[in-house]
């Protein structure tokens, strides 16, 4: 599971000032170093830390919120030795040895949930998540060390994968759980519109979907802040994919609807605290940019489907970078998200050939598949 869409451009980080490319404002003069345990206080009692991730994204932002005599932690980082050491330093430096009262995880992906079990076992803090994210996290963690299911192999074969790609899927299946410490066996459910008092301030839960099943953002009107997780990012687009577990899903429509909901219910002038990139101002503009980019991709894809294509055949239409074997799973998931969205709008249809491979085409196009 990845945070960043393959379809998005990645621009240089902007630590202060205006990003003319996206018309966003980055008001903070300082940013935390990755993994050294020290933070930048972005508002009263709201501390910004960065946990190491490596690879393309480099780090994830996590947040320590002053909560009475202790802290609420929002998101945790991925299970690695480097992240364990980063949290040890954060407990000593930023948090000054004060207790963690709760661990609030925006969604199930390992860079957000991976250290939750470690923090919970070390501090006794309760895990807070939306129900669907928690249950899906447990399902995916239980795949560890299992063989790839026949349904998954059929799913990717139907998308046009060859045997070499299917063998790579078989070899990698079940790796999700290796990025997590054992998940707490109980949790506190959070729900859309729920108000949670954390220290001096009340935060409202804003649930979205598409990037993950029931992603929780946190809005604090008092401080004019939005912890957006991966639902709204400043310089990359969230990964929105279809997976073998729910092959008929339409997550792109879910995500676009969630963006519209955020734009309607959250003020434009909030300081957005994203999981990746720097805090920024310009929420509504960024939501419009993200939505319009995907709508443009849908138009291009519909045009390409004047003749039948498999999911693997539309990579060059949707993505600006070469799709290596390592990226094929992610590219397939995103392609199917766009195809399923067009099908739900009645623009394209899916036909299966004699080998049960899916061929996608515009409605009204004659196909022999």
Give the CATH number for residue 193: 3.60.15.10
Spatial separation of the C-alpha atoms in residues 86 and 101, rounded to whole Å: 19
CA nearest to 74, candidates 82, 66, 83:
66
Tell whether the model's pLDDT for residue 12 goes beyond 50.
no
Spatial separation of the C-alpha atoms in residues 103 and 205, rounded to whole Å: 15
pLDDT of residue 57: 73
303 falls within a domain: no
355 falls within a domain: no
pLDDT of residue 33: 97
157 falls within a domain: yes
369 falls within a domain: no
SS3 content of the chain, % helix, strand, coil (to 5): 35, 25, 45
Pairing state of beta strands 70-74 and 100-104?
parallel
Tell whether the model's pLDDT for residue 27 goes beyond 60.
yes
Tell whether the model's pLDDT for residue 1 goes beyond 60.
no
pLDDT in tens, 114-145: 999 999 999 999 999 999 999 999 999 999 88
294 falls within a domain: no
333 falls within a domain: no
Where in the sequence is the domain holding 100, given as residue range(s)? 17-283
Max distance between CA atoms of the chain, in angstroms, equals: 68
Q: Which alpha helices (H) appear in 275-348, and where do they start and end? A: 283-304, 315-318, 328-344
327 falls within a domain: no
Spatial separation of the C-alpha atoms in residues 366 and 369, rounded to whole Å: 9
Structural domain count of the chain: 1
């Amino acid at each position: 599971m990845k945070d960043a869409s393959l379809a998005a451009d990645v621009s240089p980080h902007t630590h202060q000032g205006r990003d003319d490319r996206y018309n966003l404002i980055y008001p903070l003069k300082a940013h935390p170093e990755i993994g050294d345990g020290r933070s930048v206080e972005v508002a009263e009692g709201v501390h910004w830390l960065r946990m190491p991730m490596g690879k393309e994204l480099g780090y994830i932002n996590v947040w320590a919120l002053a909560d009475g005599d202790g802290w609420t932690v929002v998101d945790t980082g991925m299970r690695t030795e480097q992240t364990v050491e980063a949290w040890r330093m954060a407990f000593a430096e930023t948090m000054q040895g004060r207790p963690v009262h709760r661990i609030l995880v925006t969604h199930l992906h390992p860079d957000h949930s991976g250290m939750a079990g470690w923090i919970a076992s070390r501090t006794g803090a309760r895990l807070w998540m939306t129900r669907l994210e928690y249950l899906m996290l447990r399902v995916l963690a239980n795949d560890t060390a299992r063989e790839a299911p026949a349904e998954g192999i059929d799913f990717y074969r139907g998308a046009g994968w060859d045997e070499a790609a299917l063998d790579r899927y078989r070899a990698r299946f079940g790796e999700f759980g290796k990025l997590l410490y054992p998940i707490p066996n109980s949790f506190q459910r959070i729900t859309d519109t729920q108000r949670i008092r954390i220290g001096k301030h009340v935060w409202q839960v804003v649930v979205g979907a598409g990037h993950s099943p029931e992603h929780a953002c946190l809005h604090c009107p008092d401080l004019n802040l939005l912890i957006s997780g991966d639902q709204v990012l400043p310089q990359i687009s969230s990964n929105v994919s279809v997976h073998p577990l729910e092959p008929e899903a339409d997550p792109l429509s879910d995500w676009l609807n969630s963006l519209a909901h955020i734009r309607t219910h959250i003020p434009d002038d909030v300081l957005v605290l994203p999981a990746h990139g720097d805090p920024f101002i310009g929420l509504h503009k960024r939501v419009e940019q993200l939505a319009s980019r995907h709508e443009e991709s849908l138009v291009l894809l519909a045009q390409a489907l004047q003749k039948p294509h498999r999911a693997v055949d539309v990579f060059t239409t949707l993505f600006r970078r070469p799709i290596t074997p390592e990226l094929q799973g992610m590219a397939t998931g995103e392609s199917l998200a766009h195809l399923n969205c067009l099908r739900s709008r009645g623009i394209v249809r899916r036909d299966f050939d004699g080998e049960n491979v899916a061929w996608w085409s515009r409605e009204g196009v004659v196909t022999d598949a």
